[in-house]
Structure 1
Amino acid sequence: MFRSAVLAALALIVAMPAQATDTPFQEALHAARNDDWETLSRAQARLGDEHPLQAYLDFHRLRAALPDLNPQRVQDYAERYPDSPLPNDIRQLALVAYARDERWDAARAVYDSAPRSTELRCLYWHAQWQAGNQEALNQARELWLSGNSRPSACDPIFDAARQRGQIGDREIWKRMDLAFYERSPGLMRYLRPMLDDSSYATAADWLLDLYGDPETLTDLPKDLPDDQRQVLLAAGFRRLAYTDTETAREWFEDKRGDLGFTDAALVERAGQRIAWYSTIRGVEDNRDWLDQWLREHGGNDLLDQRARRAVIERNWDELPDWIARLPQSERDDSRWLYWLGRAAEENGDDGKAKSLWQQAAGQRNFYGFLAADRLGEPYRFGNAVPTGDRALPDLPALARVKLLREQDEPGLAWSEWNWLMWHSDERRQRELAQYAVDAGWYDLAVQASIQARAWDVLAWRFPAAHRERFQEAARRYDLDPWLPMAIARRESAFYPNARSPVGALGLMQLMPGTARKVSREAGQAVPGEQQILEPNTNIALGSRYLADLLKQFNGNRILALAAYNAGPNRVERWLAEEEDDAVPADVWIESIPFRETRAYVQAVLTYRVLFQGLHGDTEERTALLLLPRERGTPYSVAMIED
């Protein structure tokens, strides 16, 4: 038996909390989800058999009949509803159910080729193995070789592959090495007992030791097979680069030869890792070695980080040299054009600075807008006129989307919409994008703009979604309404049912604990999960939380946004302790240690400019990115002291 990630992923269809049954369809769907067939029959009689959403009711009849369901009925369902995402959903459920019940003939009947997800692929190939398909064991080996845990549904096909030697000691050792690189010691410990009687057992023990204490790499036995020893040396240097970057560099320079670390590819890989941590941590004692390594070995990501390090340290003389080593496409990006302009300005060449900022200001993004502010020029939105034809033909999927949204089923509507996008050409996608904007389906409009790659049609990418709700919350909490709207656009693309892997919910991606805390502080009833997902509640709680962060950081939106993404405590640690070490706003944003948070702050501030410029009462598009006090204040802890 195994737990199924597929069932969890399909929970939106399979099991929803009770909803108000205001319509016959809602009553029927609620009954079907709860296997209440008597109530479903009564509701069905009122709906008739040709209701546009009949596929959802039929889906649950099939779902409830698993695993005894004849697989031909799954095929018949697909033929009856060919323009719907539901046939694929029932196939997934059927494969899981048949595999659990060991109905291998039925399991093979529901898919003609291997599905995408790891869990379903394992089940598919296990079913094929039961029919004697030898390719199944080759596929099992490919699925096995991962540094991350695999679903328990994969265990049977893995066991079969191990019993027949397709997964042997070498594959177990290789997977332990992959797990080391993925920082997954739990998986390493799980795999280790599989090598008890193996020639790899000693190496496996050393691999675990190196993860806990990489300095033991100097104690590695000389009599280990060289291929194993090379892997262990590479792993040890990689781990030491993380735990003690300076020592890793010293040993890499001075002890590599004595240790016999000679595999050229692994040596290169270890050196790149030491260079990476030397760069992002700004290890001063490693600087000479690092710069020489980069000149000889390069690597775009490393060079990018080295140029960023020059910005953080405000080494304006050396910055242009590092940027010059980047690919031309990177050098032409507004980010590096802006920083080259800053370096030119600091080095006294105002004419060159202006020329570089002119180039950067042509791009519609954070650094393009920063450059425009430096020049005192308006932002260039590059806004294209929508080209979608609003006279769409009658599309059954579009009718279902409309009905599902009316029935308060945004998740099901979202699935239907995505299916429709994937099965439409670019012209139809553009037509649908405009239709969604006109209908007020803001999340679907954004999704359509992405599918159509309509990057310049800002009416589709940045609709003024839930404008009245954001304005009401802004009045209540003394906020600029465009700022929480920009957060929602970044967090969820306005999809109200958005759920992150860590549990954040709704438009503004609130963690349940945060939502409860904000509610208690406001003297309001503590909301449940479904209430947090409701747009009015989510916007109100998210806006209040943003207002609290702005108060905590003395109205500085840069710091408040960083805290919204990464947490207030981290932001306080990122501020300089001494005012002499404080840096300007642009440098502080570039110095944010988390790549995600850097991108988040830049995106939200940029989106806010776009929303105000597109939908505000004024057509002013100048100096909207940063407030004067945000631009002019050096960033240190003094900013948040009372």
Structure 2
Amino acid sequence: MMASADGGATDISAAIHPLASVLASIGSSPAAPVTVAPEKTPAPEKPASTDAAVPAVTAPASSGSSAAEPASVAAPGAAPDLRRDAEAAPASPGASATGAAAPALAEPPKPAMDLAALKGAVDLYRKGDLAAADAAAAAIPDATSRRLLEWVAIRYMARDLGFARIDAFIRANPDWPTQKLMRRRAEEALVAERQKAAVVRAFFKGRAPLTAGGKIALARALIEEDKGAEAAALVRSAWRNDNFGQEMESRFLETFPELLEAADHRARMETLLFAEDWAGALRVANKAGGDAVKLAKARAAVGRSASNAAQALEEVPKELRKDPAYLFARAQFLRRQEKFVDAGKALTATPREAVRPDTADEWWTERRLVARKLLDLGEQKLAYDVASGMPADAPAKTRTDAEFHAGWIALRFLNQPLVAEKHFADIAKAASTPMTTARAEYWLGRAAEAAGQPAEEHYRKAAQHGITYYGQLARARLDWRDLPVRRVLRGELTLPDSVGALRAVRMLYEADARDVAQPLMADLANTLEDPGELDALARIPAEKGDARGLLIVGKAATQRGFPLDEHAFPTIGVPELNLAANAVEKPLVFAIARQESAFDPKVVSSAGARGLMQLMPATARQTAQRTGVGYDADKLTADPGYNARLGAAHLGDLVGDWKGSYVLTIASYNAGGGNVRKWIDAYGDPRSSAIDPVDWVERIPFTETRNYVQRVMENLQVYRCRLTERSTLLIGDDFKRGVNR
């Protein structure tokens, strides 16, 4: 039951734009006035309530889709410019304390024949029958439908479409979602067809290639235009930094043999070593010459935990022992030999400049593992030195985690709150998501408290992001017992019957092709700038009962700071439960399902966990037998209610096993009871009043499980509000469940 860590959502306010920009762009005006309730004035001691009146959106009745279309329309392949029914002037989120616009975008369904034709064409493209699919698409009179089908063709049959057709669609529809996906498809076709230099240069005018193949095509074009220096720089950069396979590697070597030098091969070797492509690294090492092969063999031996790893390290010449690949391999080898102090010293002796930005994630993973092991050994100072040694140009997410670890160790293990404050302040300055801001401000508050300084302002800043874990902890620290989840009250707003990509998403749902719609929704959720449009997008899967689609939109919106809390925590994802006698509260079931499967009832993990609650078949069988429910393996993915019932009963068993502790229950649901017992032995029992449960969670050595516990705890608080209509925050009480006083 392993789950992917996801970022928390937040309670950042945004201005409410009732889709005025959309109306302006399509030449219509509301049939009824838009009404928005006055903002509530926030009480001085805490954030305001989050309810606000916002407009619902309804489309006027339509007798058919063709009436609004131009007299002359192009068939698939001609890529007509149909932007007029999608364009909307962007609107800034702004700031508001009350909530978000919530247009329902209630568009009347198209005639059944149109939907059947759309579905038929989608199915044909997915099956690979281009001629039949194109014919079916050409027979549909609705222009947005045809444009949507051309996108479906690009997604599923790009190789058959050819470059010209893909390029025409991109040029005619620059605002259509998934631009990167389409550009990648175009670049692949560009290379396969060996397009002329003029065509290549025109395609890449004002934009850089996204793929290795695209870089080959552009470099060829540059050489034909006697721009050899530009071509060489492009080829060398791609060869050094891009992680592509052996086939593309051969293309580079065949096309540009004179442009690649030993230093380029050496740099590529390092890239592939850090990507753990051992065969590829050894292949390139042979081209680098010298002792590069010995270095690559040593790094690969350590990475594979080979029996000859120590010998391979010894065979690396002394002059190469300052190479980043060797330094990394040696530190990793020492850690795997459980020589954690030596590994820590090796890492702290590594110059920061040895860490390339594109290899920083691997370096940080090694540092984090070693730092945590050093804490277990009581080597707090060395642990801090290891954690604080990452370079400033590391990727933002990596840098944030490194700064947190350094600050947390300084605060909780070295009793140096002022040192910790600097690290947490660096996180706050660079924060770009509500979850990161809440994390930084919460720990700045803890550091201020430890230093005897005022902490309330930091907690208040974190508390603004109330649907995040650290925001909830901050509210508990302030003794705020409420958890506002922004809800929307809808008025009236009329929209015409064509709103471009939003309409395309709706049509896919009407055509029972929600899996095709989800990439469009995900891209729109990360690019739309108007809260009303985001809400309109979210209502499409909501109206169709698709909790997964709703979560895709809601999570993206709240992570970007838009106040669409309800959509980020769907209440349609778990069927009405017939709970067993010992089952846990319903909000915990939702909290687990949101994290485990993202409400996908059919998902099967690589480990074999199944369905909504990601139950392993053996666990499901045992739980079914104990609860007197007939076991049916197929129903774990076919019947979400069955899966949820068994999952809730299993959670109830775990709560009983851990004497009421939610922290231990959630951790064991993800990592297993054996690991949790090891952590209790190592870090103490969070059920003891002598143990800070927040610190205990931070000490969980598995990054996935640590994130999992935090996400489920935050989900639980929000789902209590969503499912019970009460806004009481109980995270402090949940941490104390099962505590022995």
User: Normalising by the residue count of structure 2, what TM-score does the alignment of the two structures yield?
Assistant: 0.62
Do residues 596 (structure 1) and 704 (structure 2) align? yes
- 2:509–2:541 contact (8 Å) kept in structure 1: no
Q: What is the distance in 1 between the residues matched to 2:598 and 2:731?
A: 22
Change (3 A) 1:277 1:321: farther
1:94-136 per-residue CA deviation (whole Å, 9 max, x = no partner) reads: 6546755x55459966981299999x61222333455545445
Q: CA deviation at 1:632?
A: 1.8
Change (3 A) 1:361 1:43: closer
Q: CA deviation at 1:472?
A: 1.8
Q: CA deviation at 1:556?
A: 3.0
Q: How does 1:536-615 map to 2 (within 5 A)?
A: 539=644, 543=648, 546-547=651-652, 549-550=654-655, 553-576=658-681, 583-615=691-723
In structure 1, the residue matched to 2:142 is 50
Q: What is the distance in 2 between the residues matched to 1:124 and 1:390?
A: 45
Find the partner of 1:304 among 387, 391, 404: 404
Q: Which one scores higher on RCO, CA 8 angstroms, separation ≥ 6?
A: 2
Could you tell me which amino acid in structure 2 is paired with residue 26 of structure 1?
Answer: K
Could you tell me which amino acid in structure 1 is paired with residue 737 of structure 2?
Answer: E
Do residues 138 (structure 1) and 230 (structure 2) align? no
Q: CA deviation at 1:421?
A: 4.7
Do residues 632 (structure 1) and 632 (structure 2) align? no
In structure 2, the residue matched to 1:7 is none
Q: Tell me the secondary structure at the aligned position of residue 560 of structure 1.
A: helix
Could you tell me which amino acid in structure 2 is paired with residue 595 of structure 1?
Answer: T
Q: CA deviation at 1:621?
A: 0.8
Q: What is the distance in 1 between the residues matched to 2:656 and 2:448?
A: 34
Q: How does 1:226-265 map to 2 (within 5 A)?
A: 226=319, 229-231=322-324, 234-235=327-328, 237-240=330-333, 242-243=335-336, 244-248=339-343, 265=353
**Identity between Structure 1 and Structure 2 (%):** 19
Q: What is the distance in 1 between the residues matched to 2:663 and 2:571?
A: 23
Q: How does 1:123-202 map to 2 (within 5 A)?
A: 123-129=213-219, 131=221, 132-133=223-224, 134=228, 135-146=230-241, 149-160=243-254, 163-164=257-258, 166-182=259-275, 184-195=277-288, 198=290, 200-202=292-294
Q: Which runs of 5+ in 1 are unaligned?
A: 1-21, 635-642
Q: What is the distance in 2 between the residues matched to 1:612 and 1:407?
A: 34
Q: What is the distance in 1 between the residues matched to 2:371 and 2:728?
A: 37
Q: What is the distance in 2 between the residues matched to 1:62 and 1:236?
A: 43
In structure 1, the residue matched to 2:42 is none
- 1:249–1:286 contact (8 Å) kept in structure 2: no
Q: What is the distance in 2 between the residues matched to 1:421 and 1:512?
A: 32
Q: What is the distance in 1 between the residues matched to 2:208 and 2:616?
A: 28
Q: What is the distance in 2 between the residues matched to 1:459 and 1:556?
A: 27
Could you tell me which amino acid in structure 2 is paired with residue 397 of structure 1?
Answer: A
1:156-196 per-residue CA deviation (whole Å, 9 max, x = no partner) reads: 432136621x333222222333444455545433433334x
- 1:550–1:556 contact (8 Å) kept in structure 2: yes
In structure 1, the residue matched to 2:728 is 621
Q: What is the distance in 2 between the residues matched to 1:113 and 1:308?
A: 46
In structure 2, the residue matched to 1:8 is none
In structure 2, the residue matched to 1:457 is 563
- 2:602–2:610 contact (8 Å) kept in structure 1: yes
Change (3 A) 1:450 1:203: closer
- 1:445–1:460 contact (8 Å) kept in structure 2: no
Q: What is the distance in 2 between the residues matched to 1:298 and 1:103?
A: 41
In structure 2, the residue matched to 1:10 is none
Q: What is the distance in 2 between the residues matched to 1:126 and 1:517?
A: 54
Q: What is the distance in 2 between the residues matched to 1:601 and 1:48?
A: 50
Find the partner of 2:589 among 481, 484, 496: 484
Find the partner of 1:280 among 362, 372, 380: 372
Find the partner of 1:328 among 425, 429, 446: 425
Q: What is the distance in 1 between the residues matched to 2:514 and 2:405?
A: 41
Q: Tell me the secondary structure at the aligned position of residue 633 of structure 2.
A: coil
- 1:275–1:293 contact (8 Å) kept in structure 2: yes
Q: How does 1:210-221 map to 2 (within 5 A)?
A: 219=314
Change (3 A) 1:184 1:323: same
1:481-504 per-residue CA deviation (whole Å, 9 max, x = no partner) reads: 212222344456557788889887
Could you tell me which amino acid in structure 2 is paired with residue 172 of structure 1?
Answer: H
- 1:437–1:445 contact (8 Å) kept in structure 2: no
Q: How does 1:346-425 map to 2 (within 5 A)?
A: 364=466, 365-370=468-473, 372-373=475-476, 376-381=479-484, 383=486, 390-393=493-496, 394-421=498-525, 424-425=528-529
Higher helix share: 1
1:131-165 per-residue CA deviation (whole Å, 9 max, x = no partner) reads: 5454455333222324x85234522432136621x
Change (3 A) 1:378 1:208: closer
In structure 2, the residue matched to 1:466 is 572
- 2:651–2:665 contact (8 Å) kept in structure 1: yes
Q: What is the distance in 2 between the residues matched to 1:298 and 1:69?
A: 45
Change (3 A) 1:388 1:491: farther
Q: CA deviation at 1:606?
A: 1.6
Q: What is the distance in 2 between the residues matched to 1:295 and 1:40?
A: 57
Q: How does 1:81-100 map to 2 (within 5 A)?
A: 84-85=176-177, 92-93=184-185, 95-96=187-188, 99=191
Q: What is the distance in 2 between the residues matched to 1:264 and 1:44?
A: 57
Change (3 A) 1:552 1:411: farther
User: Larger deviation: 446-455 or 476-485?
Assistant: 446-455
Q: What is the distance in 1 between the residues matched to 2:123 and 2:363?
A: 59
User: Normalising by the residue count of structure 1, what TM-score does the alignment of the two structures yield?
Assistant: 0.70
Find the partner of 2:211 among 121, 124, 133: 121
**How many pairs align?**
586
Q: CA deviation at 1:75?
A: 4.4
Q: CA deviation at 1:403?
A: 2.4
- 1:385–1:457 contact (8 Å) kept in structure 2: no
Change (3 A) 1:512 1:286: closer
Q: CA deviation at 1:36?
A: 5.9
User: Larger deviation: 606-615 or 519-528?
Assistant: 519-528
- 2:442–2:474 contact (8 Å) kept in structure 1: no
- 1:334–1:360 contact (8 Å) kept in structure 2: yes
- 2:577–2:641 contact (8 Å) kept in structure 1: no
Superposed CA RMSD in Å reads: 5.4
- 2:603–2:612 contact (8 Å) kept in structure 1: yes
Change (3 A) 1:360 1:219: same
Q: What is the distance in 1 between the residues matched to 2:135 and 2:367?
A: 69
